[in-house]
Amino acid sequence: MSHDPTFWLLARASGLTAYVLLTLSVLAGITVKTRVLNRIARAASVVDVHRFLTTLGLGALVIHGSALVLDATITITPLALFVPGLSPYRPFAVGLGVLAGELMGLVIFSFRVKRRIGQRAWRRLHWLAYPVFILGTAHGLLAGTDSQAPWAFDLYLGAVGAVVAGTAWRALTVAPRPRPTKGAPA
């Protein structure tokens, strides 16, 4: 009896899709403050695009985890999707992905509680997008069965390059907020 590769293929495709959507979401988040995409911002808010990409990324992540649980190639329990290190397959690498997914969920959840936690706490939570991206990249490179293929490595390299370039560009072009001087009213 032969093994049906459907869930294994779905797990690989949805994992790569989640990574691409995460990359695009981080890049959209970088552009939110800069408003560089004025034409697109008129048609649809960059913030809305950012949220949409993030939601799609979360959906792809859910499909990725579900397909891994349903696949017979490796045995992953539902609990291993939530507890880093429980996967019998490359526990450290998969654990990085689990941690990335949990932090991603926290960042997404922060949109819903932004008014309750305040702008400052919300902004601090959003800085977690960078560790999520780093953990997701490490997960894909270390656990992904396609990561050694030149096209996949190029995908990861391009994603990292785009996020690093976007971050540097934002850091260099966004004017710093003026700091109150000593004795001046805040």
Query: Any idea what DSSP says for residue 80?
Result: G
In a domain, 154, yes or no: yes
DSSP 8-state assignment for residue 78: G
pLDDT at 181: 65
In a domain, 78, yes or no: yes
Q: What per-residue confidence (pLDDT) applies to 185?
A: 60
Mean pLDDT by 10 residues, the chain (186 residues): 80 95 92 62 70 92 94 88 92 95 91 89 91 96 91 96 93 68 61
pLDDT score of 171: 84
Closest of 100, 96, 22, 5 to residue 59, by C-alpha: 22
- Residue 99 belongs to a domain: yes
pLDDT value at residue 139: 96
Q: pLDDT at position 97, please?
A: 95
140 contacts 15 by C-beta, under 8 angstroms: yes
pLDDT at res. 75: 85
Q: Supply the pLDDT for residue 180.
A: 62
Count of domains for the chain: 1
The answer to the question of residue 179 being in a domain is: no
Q: Is 115 a domain residue? A: yes
Structural domain boundaries enclosing 39: 6-172
Rounded Cα distance, 16 and 12, in Å:
6
Residue 177 lies in a domain: no
Within a domain: residue 38?
A: yes
Domain assignment present for residue 185? The answer is no
Residue 28's identity, in one-letter code, is A
